[in-house]
Amino acid sequence: MKSKFPGYIDDYLENNILNSEKVIVVFDTNILLNLYRYEKKIVNDILMQMKSLKKNKFFEIWLPHQVALEFNLQRKSTFKKQEKAVQSIKDEFRSFKKKIEGHSIVGGKNSELFPLKKELGAHFDKIANVINSHLPQQNRVKRKDSVIDHIYEIFDGLVGDCYSSERMEHIEAEGNYRFNNNIPPGFEDDSKEITYSYMGTKVDAKYGDYILWSQLIDKAKSNAMTLVLVTGDEKPDWHSKEYDRVRPELINEFKLKTGQDFYSLTLPNFQRFFEPKLKRKLSEQTTNEIIELNQKDNTGWLEDVLSVFHHYDRPLHLKEVYKTILDATSRDLPPSWDVIIRRTIYNHCSDVKAYLGKKDLFRKLESGKYELRK
């Protein structure tokens, strides 16, 4: 029975993955894009870890074509989002400074806020200078992308091939069947409306995860090796809350189609479980930073989404919600911020398959728009 249902075995990671003779390590798009969101010291630590894996005989690192394509398409916008986040901090600091100065004027030196303003005032210029040093200046040389050259070097010759137009058409047809029947992975992306191309072949963004999944399966078949996907986002169509790990259905499908084992881990958990085989380990500071950023990326979104619907007080397309949050937020947006917003609405809408069965806050209309339930 175990051979038919390997994904449901409780100690699958310990007995199958960690006991493999060699493991293909794949990094997803979020892992690479998040390198633009950490401070330089953290980035260098992660890059050194990747380089170390290349020299480790137990591991073979590889990048699916879909991951490489998404990374190249999104890295510029991710890079610019960081500059926008710093500008937002500058604007908020300026507003805070004005409030302190304005309130302290009332009552003059007898104001209760005057001592606070006097004490803080000595540090205002210093804080402003620190913030400005992280902003791009008009007369300064264009800010250099310090990540891209390292990524190109690490994965030189280690990127998979793209699919043909015929294979893409087959994937789209199969993807539609899987989405309609809630078969992972990728069904959370069924409302994506972006298309792009590579070498004259159309790529529909909503099938991105299924394209990736197909490329992982092809790689495991070709190399006859265990494969571990290192991810920066534990999406429900990949990660099971019930089992607190990768979805059993994915392990089953992978094993029965390739004869090989599959697992998915966050970067901190990859280090935790494979520590005995690693030649180089991430620092405690790096590990904590990754965990904290992930927690921050996945909290507070429901309040943001609700505020958008309350502001407009009418049905909204998802694109309208995305744009409003993008324009107004002071968040350091994660690479998958639009996926998180969409997931937040789906998880609280009983009209879609991803509803979690708790708070039913949104109604999906026939037009495809969403509104608050009355």
pTM of the predicted model as reported, rounded to 2 decimal places? 0.80
pLDDT in tens, 163-187: 999 999 999 999 989 988 888 887 7
**Is the bond preceding 185 in cis, omega lying within 30 degrees of 0?**
yes
Residue 138 pLDDT class (50, 70, 90 cuts) = very low
Average pLDDT over the chain, rounded to an integer = 86
What per-residue confidence (pLDDT) applies to 140? Answer: 46
Assigned token pair, 353? 């398959």
8 A C-beta contact, residue 294 and residue 275: no
* End-to-end Cα, the chain, rounded Å: 49
CA 358 to chain CA centroid, Å, is 25
> Residues 317, 319, 321, CA angle at the centre, nearest 5°?
80
Residue 189 pLDDT class (50, 70, 90 cuts) = low
pLDDT in tens, 249-304: 999 999 999 999 999 999 999 999 999 999 999 999 999 999 988 888 888 899 99
Inform me whether the pLDDT recorded for 332 exceeds 90.
Answer: no
What per-residue confidence (pLDDT) applies to 129? Answer: 72
Task: Show me where the domains of the chain are located.
Answer: 6-66+153-282, 74-133, 299-372
What per-residue confidence (pLDDT) applies to 141? Answer: 45
Inform me whether the pLDDT recorded for 106 exceeds 60.
Answer: no
Rounded-to-integer distance, Cα 186 and Cα 176, Å: 10
pLDDT in tens, 347-358: 899 998 778 888
What per-residue confidence (pLDDT) applies to 132? Answer: 67
